[in-house]
Amino acid sequence: MSTNVNRGKNAEGSQGTASSPGRPFDPARWQARFDELREAHHVPGATLAVLADGEVHELASGVLHRGTGVGATTDSLFQVGSITKIHTATLVMRLVDSGRLDLDARVIDVLPEFATADPQAGERITIRQMLSHTSGLTCDFTHDTGRGDDCLAKYVEAAKGVALDCGPGTGTSYSSVGYNVLGRVVEVLTGQTWDQALQEMLCAPLGLAATVTLPEDVLRFRSAMGHFGEPGRMPDPAPVWNPLPRSAGPYGGVLCATAADVLRLAKLHLDGGVAPDGTRLLSAEAVAAMQRREVDSPDKWTVSADGWGLGWSLYDWEGTPGYGHDGATIGQYGFLRVAPGTGLIIVLLTNGGGARTLYASLFRELLSELGGITMPAPFGPPARPLAVDITPYLGTYRREGVAITVTSRDGQGHLLYEFVDGMAGLAPAIDVNLVPVSPAVFAGEGTGSFAEDWMPVVFATLSDGTPCCYIGMRAAPKIA
């Protein structure tokens, strides 16, 4: 728990502005604002949990499912998507704490069967690199290995032929595959399924009674259905509850929780690893290590990350540090933000519509009013057009399943993003103009499902000197 905030009063010191009058959380006022913004952004239903003044406030708005009309309540479960990576990372750190796992051990030391398409590179990958998205493992290998308890073992086996985005340790490339491998590491070290280990090592001791991973357990609760639709109108229920397979578990395909339960997990970290009942679940060192910057994030916009720790996205809110994670499944979207300097935690879980813009509007107000924190302006080109020569970036970039081609038409940068090979047909190609934001950052114009406004396109160089293009925080090295 941060110590430079007087409960409900004022904040001093490193947390942000010199003088930030801490306002008490007014539930009625925020409920009204939550309802209003949810409706305006066409989000069918949402829950919000806020830790402010040392107190947890829970709000809900809208419906869980526009077809059944069941109302959203604070005890409703939503799919939290990649926020699950924090659950998995916390489990891994518990194993590190107990001496059963070395952060800098190679994956093959724990999982001899682990391999990648490039055998030499694969052998070098460490646990730490997978936690911080620096392993070079690719992200989007969604592979259904069935409903059985052997799903992760089979997944690791099937991932053997998957190419790395970049060499281990040479750059940041957001990797869900890495988190599935971590999930399998948990299974091998505990002798349990990832689901059981999560329940026994985290949910039970932390009192997360409304955090589950299997659909038969979700049925005990009110639960949200994802929705799809065109921007600007209320979306319709998705055809299926969750198209992601069980083998997408440890990286964020299946975990469902209440907003308050996600908040409790974040509070464990805010409180230095101690559960509300006084049980120490993580050492203070492990908690600190998770928040320590392992690497900068070249793409600071897709999930607002300025850098990565072990699991955590690290934020820089105009000088005020924070950590958290975003999550998305097919039709449900979650957002977790922790401002340690002010002891503030905010969790928003939604079931479709303009979830991202709802998050941006609501969190901008909450962070500002409750923490005196200013979120960066939305991503987009500067008001005054910037002249940047696209020539150095022209060419073809490749990562597993994706081909990116940057061309110039009369000096205007242009980008074609195509799904190929195993991901061919996943979505139509994205064809955008590139508008300069800064010398190496461009805004893709009109990109549909990737971003409601502008898609960040970032050119960077890996530590081995290879130029690469970042889209969605995934690195694609230049091949031609």
Partner 1 sequence: MSTNVSWDKDGNWRAEGSWGTANSSNRVFRLAHWQDRLDTLRAAHHVPGAALAVLVGGEIHELAGGVLHRGTGVTATPDSVFHLGSIAKIYTATVVVKLAESGLLDLDAPVRDVIPDFVVADAEASKTITPRQLLSHTSGLSGDFHLDTGRGDDCLEKYVKGCAGLAVDVPPGSAVSYSGSGYSVLGRIVEVVTGKTWDVALQELLCAPAGLAATVTLPEDLLRFRAAMGHFGEPGTDPEPSPLWDLHSRAAGPAAVVCASAPDLVRLAKLHLDGGVAADGTRVLAAETVAAMQRREMDVPDKWTVSADGWGLGWTLYDWEGVPGYGHDGAATGQYSYLRVVPGAGVAIALLTNGGGARPFYAALFRELFAELADVRMPAPFAPPAQAPTVNLAAILGVYKREGVVITVGMRDGSLRMLYEFVDGMKDISPPLDMELAPVTESVFAASGAGPSFAEDYMPVVFSTLADGTPSCSVGMRVAPKVA
Contact positions toward partner 1, by CB under 8 A? 65, 67-68, 70, 73, 75, 146-150, 214-223, 225, 237, 240-242, 246
Q: Would you state the structure tokens that stand for residue 290, as one six-digit string?
A: 């998770």
What's the min distance (Å) between Cβ of 214 and partner 1?
Answer: 8
Judged by CB, which is closer to partner 1: 32, or 219?
A: 219
Q: Which of 7, 3, 17 is nearest to 52 (CA)?
A: 7
Report CA Rg, the chain. Answer: 21
Judged by CB, which is closer to partner 1: 215, or 272?
A: 215
Q: Which of 281, 289, 371 is nearest to 98 (CA)?
A: 281
First-residue to last-residue Cα distance in the chain: 50
What's the min distance (Å) between Cβ of 18 and partner 1?
Answer: 47
What's the min distance (Å) between Cβ of 219 and partner 1?
Answer: 4
Query: Residue 65: beta bridge partners?
Result: none
Judged by CB, which is closer to partner 1: 219, or 386?
A: 219
What's the min distance (Å) between Cβ of 240 and partner 1?
Answer: 7
Q: Would you state the structure tokens that stand for residue 329, as one six-digit string?
A: 């499944």
Q: Among the options 20, 61, 76, 82, which is catalytic? A: 82
Q: Which of 160, 78, 69, 92 is nearest to 123 (CA)?
A: 160
Q: How many residues does the chain have?
A: 480
What's the min distance (Å) between Cβ of 224 and partner 1?
Answer: 9
Judged by CB, which is closer to partner 1: 241, or 454?
A: 241
Contacts of 136 (CB under 8 A, 6+ apart): 121, 125, 129, 164, 165, 166, 167, 168, 169, 170, 171, 173, 175
Q: Is the CB of residue 167 less than 8 Å from the CB of residue 115?
A: no
What's the min distance (Å) between Cβ of 111 and partner 1?
Answer: 21
**What letter represents residue 66's amino acid?**
R
- Residue 464, φ and ψ in degrees, nearest 5: -90, 10
- Going by the DSSP 8-state scheme, the letter that residue 100 receives in this structure is S
Distance, in Å, from the CA atom of 69 to the CA atom of 44, rounded to the nearest integer, reads 10
Judged by CB, which is closer to partner 1: 79, or 297?
A: 79
What's the min distance (Å) between Cβ of 432 and partner 1?
Answer: 35
**SS percent in the chain: helix, strand, coil, step 5:** 30, 25, 45
Distance, in Å, from the CA atom of 81 to the CA atom of 335, rounded to the nearest integer, reads 9
Q: Is 31 exposed, middle or buried (0-12, 13-18, 19+ CB in 10 A)?
A: middle
Distance of CA 42 to the CA centre of its chain: 22
- Going by the DSSP 8-state scheme, the letter that residue 201 receives in this structure is I
- Going by the DSSP 8-state scheme, the letter that residue 230 receives in this structure is -
Q: Is the CB of residue 93 less than 8 Å from the CB of residue 288?
A: no
Tokens 């990832």 locate to: 194
Judged by CB, which is closer to partner 1: 221, or 419?
A: 221
Judged by CB, which is closer to partner 1: 246, or 478?
A: 246
With residue 362 as reference, give the H or E element that holds it: helix 355-371
What's the min distance (Å) between Cβ of 140 and partner 1?
Answer: 21
- Residue 91, φ and ψ in degrees, nearest 5: -60, -45
Judged by CB, which is closer to partner 1: 214, or 394?
A: 214
What's the min distance (Å) between Cβ of 346 and partner 1?
Answer: 25
Q: Known catalytic residue: 82? A: yes
Tokens 């007087």 locate to: 6
Contacts of 204 (CB under 8 A, 6+ apart): none
Q: Where in the sequence numbering do the catalytic residues fall? A: 82
